[in-house]
Copies of this chain bind each other. A is one copy, B any other.
Amino acid sequence: MKLFEITTEDISVDEVVARLANPAIGAVITFVGVVRGNSEGREVRYLEYEAYPEMAEETLRQIGDEVRTRWKTIREVAIVHRVGRLEVGEISVVIALSAAHRPQVFDAARYAIDRLKEIVPIWKKEVWKGGEEWKSER
């Protein structure tokens, strides 16, 4: 089972959490990205995600390594990002981090999603009625 994956399929949070299964873990934090129905006052019809998949999986893995280097209590990291057309309410990304105990996992999860938005070669086009736009954080 891949811990870092770009997929065109529906993502299940349970399925991603299951990739971390290990009798030594007591806590899993997940960040779940969901397609919002509006953006800057516009009603979003759908999103198109595009990736440079080979590099995206490598940078996801790099983020996992960074997290485990910084937070020794983090046992395992899995990140699955969906690409293609996504409807409002659908899951775009699941980041899951496991640890024996809960302290620090929240900081680690925040770091992971911030880095994902910063370095992973994935792009998002918003499509609304009568227009579309590629969106980025910066």
Contacts and interface: CB of A to CB of B under 8 A. Distances in A.
Nearest to A117: B102
Given A14-B12, A113-B102, A34 B29 contact: no
A119 interface: no
B23 A37 contact: yes
Contacts of A113: 102
Main secondary structure of the interface of A (DSSP, over half): mixed
A97 to B, nearest CB: 10
B38 A34 contact: no
- One complex includes copies of this chain to the number of 2
A84 interface: no
A31 B27 contact: yes
Contact of A26 (B12, B28, B36): B36
Contact of A25 (B14, B23, B34, B98): B34
A106 B100 contact: no
B27 A32 contact: yes
| Closest 5 A/B residue pairs (Cβ) | A23-B37, A28-B32, A26-B36, A13-B13, A106-B106
